[in-house]
Amino acid sequence: MILVLILLTILIFILLLALLIVVSTLKIEVKNLCISNIEKKFNEKQSSKESIKQQDLRSLLKEQENQIQNYSKKQIDKIIIFLSMGKLNWLKISLNAKKIKTLYSKMHLERIDIKKIEQDFKLEDLKILPKLHPKISYLNLQANLGFESPITTAFTVAGIASIISILLAHFAKEWKKENYQYCIKPIYWQKKLYQINFNCIIEFKMVHIINIIYIFIKKGKSDKNERTTSNRKPYGYSYE
């Protein structure tokens, strides 16, 4: 009798936990993601270049070019993952740069076969992703981008800004000007340059995530059955 009660209690707990997860919202907060190949001195000197007209610009350009070639910056302060119901966060996972690096090494993400993923992933799969119904509740993006061609730089910057505007129009949770700020600036230096500072909070309903996982699993099984069927030899079971 006691064993039955224990098993029943465990079952009820599992069902309640499953129900809690299904009705919850997954929030992912990215804090201070910085990616750059431009040293800080480059921006300082570029902004003051017009005021230093008597300085030899050739030596200045050469010095800045050396800085660009020898500099690389990738850092992030924190990624916080919440599971919440309304304003109540009942689960919180905080990952700093050190934890993310450790997690990356333990998961052996560098061993992932990109070519296999490209073969399995089809353009049709992109039609499924909008069913996630993501909501962006906060965005702060500051980016400076440059390419070897000024035309490419101009079109890329304009294109990214347009895409962000479209995404916010569809996925912004509650439109408040202070919660959505972005600035994409071009760098006309005839080199591949980037300097990005990114902060955001994006939300997903767990029921939508579970639905997407189910669709992909079902699709994977159907693809596997199709490959198995196509590999069978015709008349393989015929006695004629």
pTM of the model: 0.75
What's residue 25's pLDDT?
94
Q: What tokens appear for 220 in the block?
A: 């994977």
Closest Cα to residue 34, out of 81, 83, 71, 87?
71
Q: Tell me the pLDDT tens digit for each residue of 177-214.
A: 889 999 999 998 888 889 999 999 999 999 999 999 88
Burial of 174 (0-12, 13-18, 19+ CB in 10 A): exposed
**Buried b / exposed e across 49-83, counting CB within 10 Å, b at 16+?**
eeeeeeeeeeeeeeebeebbeeeeeeebeebbebb
Question: Is the pLDDT at 107 greater than 70, yes or no?
Answer: no
With contact defined as beta carbons under 8 Å apart, do 100 and 223 qualify?
A: no
- Mean pLDDT, the chain, rounded, equals 79
Give which of 79, 30, 25, 15 is closest to 210, Cα–Cα.
Answer: 25
pLDDT value at position 6? 92
Q: Is the pLDDT of residue 149 over 60?
A: yes
Q: pLDDT-based confidence at 59, cuts 50/70/90?
A: low
CA distances 229 to 218, 223, 236, 238, Å, are 17, 10, 12, 16
Q: Which long-range contacts (CB under 8 A, 24 or more apart) does 174-180 make?
A: 174/137, 179/137, 179/138, 179/139, 180/136, 180/138, 180/139
**CA–CA gap between residue 127 and residue 40 (Å, rounded):** 41
54: confidence class by pLDDT, cuts 50, 70, 90: very low
Residue 64: the pLDDT is 56
Share of residues in the chain with pLDDT > 90 (%) = 43
- Report pLDDT for 14: 95
Lowest mean pLDDT among 75-89, 91-105, 173-187, 190-204: 91-105
Does 111 score more than 50 pLDDT? Answer: yes
What the block records as the tokens of 16 is 């309640």
pLDDT tens, position by position, 150-163: 999 999 999 999 99
Mean per-residue pLDDT, 45-73: 54
pLDDT at 200: 96
Q: Tell me, what DSSP letter sits at residue 233?
A: P
